[in-house]
């Protein structure tokens, strides 16, 4: 399967966006707590949300970096579980995906 050069650009742009998001979250988390105890409680709840946002971004960064490695290795677009080709429409929608739809469904069922 021929991989358009735009895929690398898309993945790199997404990587930049995610890294910037993580940097913003980390900056927000470094902010000192308010002196007011009520405000501190709100700040701590906000921090939990920011932690979740950061964790999701870091997980996606890992997927994007793995996709770039597969692109360099010439295995981009090949399911890492079964070795079948990943449908072009799936790659278009999820450029960093590593599973074909069948393997992704099986993985979801196993994790449910």
pTM greater than the 0.85 cutoff: no
Q: What would the CATH number be for the domain defined by 5-111? A: 1.20.120.910
Q: Can you give the pLDDT at residue 40?
A: 62
Query: To the nearest whole number, what is the mean pLDDT of the chain?
Result: 89
DSSP, res 35: S
Segments making up each domain of the chain, as ranges: 5-111
- Contact predicate 64/11, CB 8 Å: yes
Q: Can you give the pLDDT at residue 2?
A: 59
Of 74, 81, 73, the residue nearest 98 (C-alpha): 81
**pLDDT digit string (tens) for 29-67?**
787 766 666 666 666 777 788 889 999 999 999 999 999
Residue 1 has pLDDT above 90, yes or no: no
Angle at the Cα of 79 from the Cα atoms of 20 and 108, rounded to 5 degrees: 75
Of 95, 102, 103, the residue nearest 70 (C-alpha): 95
């Amino acid at each position: 399967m021929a991989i358009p050069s735009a895929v690398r650009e898309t993945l790199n742009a997404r990587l930049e966006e995610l890294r910037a998001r993580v940097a913003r979250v980390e900056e927000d988390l470094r902010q000192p707590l308010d002196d007011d105890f009520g405000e501190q409680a709100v700040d701590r709840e906000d921090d939990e949300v920011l932690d979740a946002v950061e964790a999701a971004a870091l997980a996606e960064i890992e997927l994007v970096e793995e996709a770039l490695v597969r692109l360099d290795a010439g295995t981009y677009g090949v399911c890492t579980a079964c070795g079948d080709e990943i449908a072009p429409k799936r790659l278009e929608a999820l450029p960093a995906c590593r599973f074909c739809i069948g393997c992704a469904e099986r993985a979801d069922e196993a994790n449910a």
